[in-house]
Structure 1
Amino acid sequence: MSRISLLKLLMLIFTLSVAVQQGVAQQKISGTVIDDATGKGIPQASIQVRGTSDGTSCDASGQFLLTTTSQLPLRLVVSAVGYREMLVHVDSAQEHLQIALENDKHVIDAVEISRRQKYRNRNPAVDLIHQVIKNKRSNRLENQPRLSFQQYDKLQFGLVNPSEQYNKRMGSLRFFFDNVDTLTSPGNKLLTIFMQEQLSDVYSKNDPKSFKKRVKSIKQTDFDDRYVNNHNIQSYLSYLFQDIEIYDENIFLINKLFLSPIANNAPVFYKYYIADTIDTEDGRLIELNFEPRNKTDLLLSGKLRITTDGRFAVQGATLRANKEANLNWVNDITIDLQFRPNDEQYMFLVRSDVDIMFGTNRNDAVYGRKTTHNYDYDFSPSFSDDVFKGAPTEILTSAKENEKLVHQQRPVQLSPVENRVYANVDSLNNNRTFRTMLAVGYLLAQGFYPAGPVEFGPLEYLYSRNNIEGNRIRLSGRTTLGFSEKLFIEGYLAYGTQDGEMKYFVRPTFSLNGESVATFPAHYLQVAVQHDIFDPGRSLGFKKGDSFFQSIRSNRPTKWMDAYAYQLKHLIEFGNHVSLQSSFIHHRRRAIGDLEFISSGDDPYNISNINTNEVEFVLRWAPKEKFYYRNLTRNTIIEKYPVFNLQYNRGLKGFWNGDYAFDAVRASVSKRFFLNQLGFADATLSGGKIWGTLPYPLLEMPNIFRDEDTRHEIDFSMMRSMEFVADEYIRFAFEHQLEGFILNKIPLIKKLKLREIWGGKMFYGRLSDANNPYISKDVVHFDRDADGHIMTHVLDNKIPYWEGKVGIDNIFRLLRVEYIRRLNYTGLPNVDKDRYRVSLHLNF
């Protein structure tokens, strides 16, 4: 997940949790609920204080801890599935209650128990799971020729047990922290900060396979959009809590891939035990328990309920993550799936519940929950195939305005606590103290200071230093939605104390579809004007690499050009996540400082300017893409789907003093590969070719940052600025994160929950004779450094440049340490062969 987006979310939660809280005198009552016949504890029994919303439920052994603000005496309503409800009077504080419930014999007809024995690889449970795996293809509901149904999703996120240490600091925010849920999680108080409900129409067909989810109504809490991007919160939580499909090979959750207990190779990783056989109204079921062979792997524990009608279908599942697994900031994951058979005995999902408790090893801090109800199934629907056009999941433009439909059609009603969340968040947005907290959090997380219709920043660009400008002071900012959502303007003024020159940039963006320029699908026109100094090869942009952190890098640039740039750009996005960008760019470049453009002819002379005009077309396809955004900046949420780019540039000679005619084609593809228990790997491949006779600053230099799709960026850590150049090239990067697969198997070390990383980067390029200054007389000589060494080189025709790295991640759950080594071309002047890098890295 995006590190910045995670930090923003955690910053908001931290600010809320430490600045305010609830302080009311409380009663704590503990006890055990047991079966009056067997004396065994009853798991998940419910205890509620009559006449209030206070309550809790039992753990797996029947134990409970009830926290309530009600005063003695109390009346407790105790209930459990399969037992008669009981009313218990509590007149005084007692050490421990013991409550015996009477069995309701009408609920379960028959139960047969199979004794659990020492595990063997060949046993009836394994034979049964092989039958489930063998028949799962025929049991998948998606194999129905056509179907449609209604879907209701409820997504919640909030604090667990808000601290009682800050009672006096609550002030005007007390009303928000009074609205806690004491029923859902035994012994905990849950304070919901974010909640979203949505209703959707879902369509599916089998030949050819197609799926469509059309979201028709959304109701959610919205914070002040000057400081909080509500879309990003929803996108992030939806990414963590994706739909669970037990019949898939893997279950994707919180950025991790857990092997399904009925995957084809599941018996290699899981142990299975037959627990019970149960006769229910849906027929006889076998209850099958399962657990990992190695609990440190990304596997699950739990139980499956399997039909005995010859189909061996999963009727229900309860899944839990193991505490020994290599997970960060996650204390508990619980998944419950409920299926029902249709007339053809295909199992269809009617409800799924996913609950996650986040925090440290000792305490829960925040929680997340997703509840899904599927209903009104139609197994022989009549709908046109036109319904499948566009993206698989489509949010109708009227969904937000049609939020009343959620209230009218939700299949289950909200609890009183949930009902108050929407109104409480609206009141919170109007609270001055809360707005101040958000402004401070926004400045720390985003680096921008909000000032109504504009915001100033980023903070890290306020000061930097380089060898031309000396101390560089920059004042920059951009407009917000308070100014306009159809017009967005960003720009800066910068001044160097050493060169005494003023630099500037301004870029307005105009919506062409009457919608916001930031949201998807966008359609806008953009104009940009920029005067600044650039290192050779860099393109224009609001963030051009002059941040404070870039200026202290060991391989920071030392050669510069004084440049004037103008751009006119048009972008249109389509619903299938295809976009087309077309631009016209005018660039005037002049060498400054000790950079020189000396012609390579027989009579060398200093070329004062390099002027270009070009048209550019970029075709991008990102199937099923989800992303975080702030204004025009987007960061793709990395899933298994690839991202493709195809770019064409044409140089216009003679127009507006353009000196060069050329053609250039560039293509890129990036993809994440999920490798089951071996973690995941990210791969990026790009290549291109430039036709024409051009000075080397206009060719491909691999270590120069370009304002391109962030999914295709490749940063060569050990390569010097301007070190290599090519007009025909391939770049490749690969990084594999094993998620502790090896280190989790080593005694003692596995307790540290360390994670392995390795990867490599490659650049292979060729320079044609027409652009080689050692051969051609029509280009520019490569420049030299202060020691007289030539700075730019041509790669050997048969040997690509390589650098590799190995590392350990998750040190103290915060740090990543990497060793990076340059693998060849180490004989060139002033190059470093290796280095260590320590970075902050937060991940689940």
Structure 2
Amino acid sequence: MKTPLYRLLLFFFCLALVSISSTVKAQTDYTVTGLVTDAQTGEPIPFASVALVGRRSGTLTDEKGRYTLKVKILSDSLAVSSMGYKALRQAIDPERTTQALDFKLAPAGNALQEVTVKAGENPAWRVLRQVRKNRSINDRKRLAAYEYDSYVKTDIALSHVTERMRKNPLIKRINEAMSKQDSIVDDEGHRLLPLLASESVSRYYFRTAPERKREDIRKTRIKGVAVDDAGLSSQLLGGTNLVSQNFYDNYIPILGKDFASPIGDNWRNWYEFFLADTTQIGDHICYEIQFDPKRQEDLAFIGKAWIDTTSFALCQIEARIGKGANLNYVRALTIEQELESTIDSLAGSTATAGWLPVSIKLSASLTGVGKQSLGLRAQVSLRNTNITVNRPRPVGFYEQPIEPSDTVATPNDAYWHAIYRTAAGSDSLGKEDLKTRQIIEKLRAVPAVKMAEAVGQVAVTGYYKLGGFDLGPYPYLFAVNSVEGLRTRIGFRTNEQFSRNWILRGYVAYGTLDKEFKYGGEIDYLFSRQHWTVAGVRIANDLERLGLTPELIGGNRIFYALSRFGRYRGGYQSYQKEAFFKTEPVKGILLTAMVGSRTFNPLFPFHFRQNPELGDLSPLQSDINDAYWSIEARLARKEKYLMDGNERITLGTKRAPVLTIRYTRGLKSLGSDFNYQRITLRAQQSLRLGALGRMTYLLSAGFTPDVMPAPMLFPHIGNPTPLLTTNTFNRMQFYEFVSDRFVAVHIQHRFEGLLFNRIPGIRKLNWRLIANVDALWGSLSKENQAVSSAKPLPNGTRPIFFGALDGNKPYVEVGYGIDNIFKLIRIQAIHRLDYLDDGPNGIPFNSFALKASATISF
């Protein structure tokens, strides 16, 4: 995916490969002292809570109401709270090393609701039962619609840059370009090297029935290393893309994992609770409930929740991920939310509705492989204002999910000063933010950083940007196989700098063994981004592999690139021409129409009977001409997109299925050797199973009623290589089976830490159990079997034999393995359960194989 965040993460991981040692600590200590008293009586308030706002540093007052707080770094304000008093905040100077600050707390006049505690019952349970009982009243999902303005501030920086790391050539050159005054430290005193600082203002819209979302990005300011696209960055970093957790849900998705909510339906199974205190949050008197996971290895939070004593609504929550949770590269992650009740716009000014978050803070600290690795700190602050609820707009208004303004990146200092006075509030830029932006400006001028940016861009996107053209992709640059020898390829595509409507793509390849040039080209015209309407023509003359075209393997480009290496079994020369038109008339439904032709000239021994009813007397033919038209419908409900210039990037559908159905009609009148019909179906989905983990499935099916040679039917995708590839049959040979009707299902289940986290010896390794089942039902009619011929070719070579499945006996593979070895490697055992006696040359198949793959995942 071509996004600034991915470029930034790649830049981080490249640096993290360097082994480093001891951490550099800042030497500055800050001290804040003061007295906390009753505003009416002047009496000292003992044991009041004193804490830095936005930090996890705090203390308590002593018996005389005095406090002393010593920290490595300050925030911009200090908050004091105590039972029976209104909480109070005061600004402090983060630059002063010593300062005194006194607080006078006003008594809270609200009367607490009576709490009845049963003998032997945790008093927090009664509050949590009321939270779930009143969910239908307080949860934002009860609202017919809502909209609000959002101000988002995002900061990303390298952390834990140690003395040994500073000897790295890249870091050394950066340090040489930076002055000693260019220094920022985090809460723990680690020096930071800023990489990105952004601000974004948007208007967010949500409608419940039917569920629709839209976000208008109004203004963005971005300073960053490896970031050069404000339009895309504003979509990725603005609004609710990064911070949209709803704790009323049973599970909170974070980094691809599902964390149990402390106020979800199963709160008693996941957490231990302690009713600690009552305090005032804004205008609400709240119960303070502390929560901890029952089992430290579970995907659960540690933190506090503040529940309104009258409505039992969630007013505020601070939740952080425990150290025992099985997450890669995450040292710490904290979510803080403040929520407020809304006024029903339809029922009048006094009627209250559901609660919406008005302030969200997310902070994360990531690290590379190994305890001494370089770190990355990310902080996101979001503030929502001008909230309107229960005024749904017409469905058509939401059709464009994210709409950047034409002036989204145009400088306008007056606009931002107005935002700081209104929407941003306490999250406005401070002294540290301004210093961060100054450091980034200096970093971008360092030649070594510019080189790292260029390398990172190529590694992540696969392309090197050169003005209006992108050169690549690099996975296809080289290949070595038995047909072409050394294959070299160079390709390009145009970007929005070339044209916002015309899109050109092309490549040229050459093989040193076959001494043949191959080529491909495409011209598209983008009519509408809102309804994603595109028309185009393409042509390609290249070497392909039976059953491994991009269409058949579902867009798995890496597998397609790797398939060009080694022994090139099933290779054929193909000359293809296509014209297409696609459009999305309704959000989530993409329609495609296509007309085209292609040739099949096999490089392996193959022929078929032109008149199968004549048996061995039939004339034989090897090459095939195919001409066709097709229509396709793709349904992807709730799919999210980002616009990257002329490319549309999908962010997935979360748990909704993606369905695709295609009908193809081949016609002799268009130049085809055959009249035929073909229909294919594809469905895939990821299912969240709570504590049991996550399951994904891919279901595909196809049917053609006509009589044709095997390459025109459905060659099933095998993978005899030692590399594990999902959504293929990993113990099946290439083109081992061909069907004219089939149903295939690939099921993969990730248990996460469900089992391994409970085994003491393995728990420390953070391994994860994974299992899969792959099954295929297919058959080949007698008429299609009769098309094949075993008659030797003119040179005496026996032709390739295509096997057929028994319609009453499915092909089945099962697998199980260990994921997350060294946070990268997956090893899986694969068992082939049937069709073991039909191997080549009569040799039975080996039913077992051990395969490996490497992935980066949290």
Same fold (TM over 0.5): yes
Could you say which residue in structure 2 is the equivalent of 1:708? Answer: none
> Does the aligned pair in 1 maintain the 2:148–2:388 contact within 8 Å?
yes
Could you say which residue in structure 2 is the equivalent of 1:372? Answer: 382
Could you say which residue in structure 1 is the equivalent of 2:806? Answer: 796
1:341-356 equivalent positions in 2, closer than 5 A:
341-342=341-342, 343-344=350-351, 346=353, 347-356=355-364
Could you say which residue in structure 1 is the equivalent of 2:9? Answer: 10
Q: Quickly say closer, same or farther: Cα 1:614–1:126, change in 2 above 3 A.
A: same
Q: Quickly say closer, same or farther: Cα 1:173–1:833, change in 2 above 3 A.
A: farther
* Deviation sequence 1:595-650 (CA, Å, 0-9, x none): 33455443143314211110122211222323577975856546222212111111
Could you say which residue in structure 2 is the equivalent of 1:313? Answer: 313
Match for residue 597 of structure 2 among 583, 586, 593: 586
Could you say which residue in structure 1 is the equivalent of 2:51? Answer: 44
Q: Shift of the alpha carbon at 1:672?
A: 0.5
The CA distance in 2 between the partners of 1:738 and 1:25, in whole Å, is 39
> Does the aligned pair in 1 maintain the 2:199–2:222 contact within 8 Å?
no
Match for residue 838 of structure 2 among 825, 828, 832: 828
1:605-624 equivalent positions in 2, closer than 5 A:
605-624=619-638
* Deviation sequence 1:138-165 (CA, Å, 0-9, x none): 2224424555433333333332355562
> SS of 1:792's equivalent?
coil
The CA distance in 2 between the partners of 1:147 and 1:690, in whole Å, is 49
Could you say which residue in structure 2 is the equivalent of 1:139? Answer: 138
The CA distance in 2 between the partners of 1:538 and 1:630, in whole Å, is 30
Q: Shift of the alpha carbon at 1:719?
A: 1.1
> Does the aligned pair in 2 maintain the 1:648–1:664 contact within 8 Å?
yes
Match for residue 174 of structure 2 among 170, 173, 184: 170
Q: Shift of the alpha carbon at 1:819?
A: 0.8
Q: Bigger CA drift: 185-194 or 295-304?
A: 185-194
1:506-525 equivalent positions in 2, closer than 5 A:
506-513=521-528, 521-525=531-535
1:232-243 equivalent positions in 2, closer than 5 A:
235=236, 241-243=242-244
The amino acid across from 2:657 in the alignment is P
Q: Bigger CA drift: 293-302 or 8-17?
A: 8-17
Identify unmatched segments of 5+ residues in structure 1: 48-55, 69-75, 706-711, 774-778
Q: Shift of the alpha carbon at 1:828?
A: 1.3
Q: Quickly say closer, same or farther: Cα 1:173–1:231, change in 2 above 3 A.
A: farther
Q: Quickly say closer, same or farther: Cα 1:190–1:641, change in 2 above 3 A.
A: farther
Could you say which residue in structure 2 is the equivalent of 1:300? Answer: 301
Q: Quickly say closer, same or farther: Cα 1:142–1:387, change in 2 above 3 A.
A: farther
Match for residue 706 of structure 2 among 657, 682, 692: 692
The CA distance in 1 between the partners of 2:47 and 2:774, in whole Å, is 60
> SS of 1:81's equivalent?
strand
The CA distance in 1 between the partners of 2:622 and 2:743, in whole Å, is 32
The CA distance in 2 between the partners of 1:842 and 1:220, in whole Å, is 30
TM-score of the superposition, structure 1-length normalised?
Answer: 0.82
The CA distance in 1 between the partners of 2:677 and 2:93, in whole Å, is 83
The CA distance in 1 between the partners of 2:2 and 2:826, in whole Å, is 13
The amino acid across from 2:450 in the alignment is R
- % identical aligned pairs: 23
1:673-692 equivalent positions in 2, closer than 5 A:
673-692=687-706
> Does the aligned pair in 1 maintain the 2:693–2:754 contact within 8 Å?
yes
Could you say which residue in structure 2 is the equivalent of 1:709? Answer: none
> Does the aligned pair in 1 maintain the 2:146–2:389 contact within 8 Å?
yes
Could you say which residue in structure 1 is the equivalent of 2:72? Answer: 66
The CA distance in 2 between the partners of 1:473 and 1:504, in whole Å, is 11
Q: Quickly say closer, same or farther: Cα 1:791–1:222, change in 2 above 3 A.
A: farther
> Does the aligned pair in 1 maintain the 2:693–2:750 contact within 8 Å?
yes
Tell me the number of residue pairs that the alignment of Structure 1 and Structure 2 aligns.
Answer: 792
The amino acid across from 2:784 in the alignment is N
Could you say which residue in structure 2 is the equivalent of 1:478? Answer: 493
1:6-405 equivalent positions in 2, closer than 5 A:
8-14=7-13, 27-29=27-29, 44-45=51-52, 58=57, 64-66=70-72, 79-81=78-80, 102-106=102-106, 122-144=121-143, 147-160=146-159, 162=161, 165=166, 169-170=173-174, 174=178, 182=185, 185=187, 187-203=189-205, 208=209, 210-221=211-222, 231=232, 235=236, 241-278=242-279, 282-309=283-310, 311-342=311-342, 343-344=350-351, 346=353, 347-359=355-367, 365-379=375-389, 381=391, 384-386=393-395, 389-390=398-399, 393-396=401-404, 398=406, 400=408, 404=412
> Does the aligned pair in 1 maintain the 2:790–2:799 contact within 8 Å?
no
* Deviation sequence 1:743-802 (CA, Å, 0-9, x none): 1112232122111100111111122333222xxxxx343799999696311111111111
The CA distance in 2 between the partners of 1:88 and 1:369, in whole Å, is 21
Q: Shift of the alpha carbon at 1:324?
A: 1.0
The amino acid across from 2:323 in the alignment is K
Q: Quickly say closer, same or farther: Cα 1:235–1:718, change in 2 above 3 A.
A: farther
The CA distance in 2 between the partners of 1:543 and 1:732, in whole Å, is 17
Match for residue 746 of structure 1 among 743, 755, 759: 759
Could you say which residue in structure 2 is the equivalent of 1:839? Answer: 853
> Does the aligned pair in 2 maintain the 1:239–1:254 contact within 8 Å?
no
> SS of 2:836's equivalent?
coil
Could you say which residue in structure 2 is the equivalent of 1:535? Answer: 545
Q: Quickly say closer, same or farther: Cα 1:485–1:18, change in 2 above 3 A.
A: farther
The CA distance in 2 between the partners of 1:88 and 1:528, in whole Å, is 63
Q: Quickly say closer, same or farther: Cα 1:765–1:89, change in 2 above 3 A.
A: closer
The CA distance in 2 between the partners of 1:86 and 1:454, in whole Å, is 51
Q: Shift of the alpha carbon at 1:478?
A: 3.5
1:642 matched to 2:657? The reply is yes
The amino acid across from 2:767 in the alignment is L
The amino acid across from 2:781 in the alignment is S
1:760 matched to 2:773? The reply is yes
The CA distance in 2 between the partners of 1:521 and 1:89, in whole Å, is 50
Q: Quickly say closer, same or farther: Cα 1:168–1:591, change in 2 above 3 A.
A: closer
* Deviation sequence 1:41-62 (CA, Å, 0-9, x none): 9553379xxxxxxxx8735788
> SS of 2:714's equivalent?
coil
> SS of 2:522's equivalent?
strand
The CA distance in 2 between the partners of 1:149 and 1:90, in whole Å, is 34
Q: Quickly say closer, same or farther: Cα 1:677–1:403, change in 2 above 3 A.
A: farther
The amino acid across from 2:593 in the alignment is S
> Does the aligned pair in 1 maintain the 2:637–2:653 contact within 8 Å?
no
Q: Shift of the alpha carbon at 1:251?
A: 1.3
> Does the aligned pair in 2 maintain the 1:783–1:790 contact within 8 Å?
no
> Does the aligned pair in 2 maintain the 1:693–1:771 contact within 8 Å?
yes
> Does the aligned pair in 2 maintain the 1:212–1:388 contact within 8 Å?
no
Identify unmatched segments of 5+ residues in structure 2: 19-23, 37-43, 61-67, 82-87, 343-349, 720-724
The CA distance in 2 between the partners of 1:819 and 1:725, in whole Å, is 25
Match for residue 415 of structure 1 among 430, 433, 441: 430
Q: Quickly say closer, same or farther: Cα 1:407–1:757, change in 2 above 3 A.
A: farther
1:563 matched to 2:574? The reply is yes
> Does the aligned pair in 1 maintain the 2:225–2:443 contact within 8 Å?
no
Q: Bigger CA drift: 465-474 or 606-615?
A: 465-474
TM-score of the superposition, structure 2-length normalised?
Answer: 0.80
The CA distance in 2 between the partners of 1:84 and 1:506, in whole Å, is 64
Could you say which residue in structure 2 is the equivalent of 1:441? Answer: 456
The CA distance in 1 between the partners of 2:779 and 2:195, in whole Å, is 56
Q: Quickly say closer, same or farther: Cα 1:633–1:522, change in 2 above 3 A.
A: closer
The CA distance in 2 between the partners of 1:225 and 1:575, in whole Å, is 35
* Cα RMSD after superposing both structures: 4.4
* Deviation sequence 1:220-254 (CA, Å, 0-9, x none): 42769998797379649989834021212221222
Q: Shift of the alpha carbon at 1:696?
A: 1.0
The CA distance in 2 between the partners of 1:482 and 1:87, in whole Å, is 47
* Deviation sequence 1:63-96 (CA, Å, 0-9, x none): 644369xxxxxxx9984435796999999x9xxx
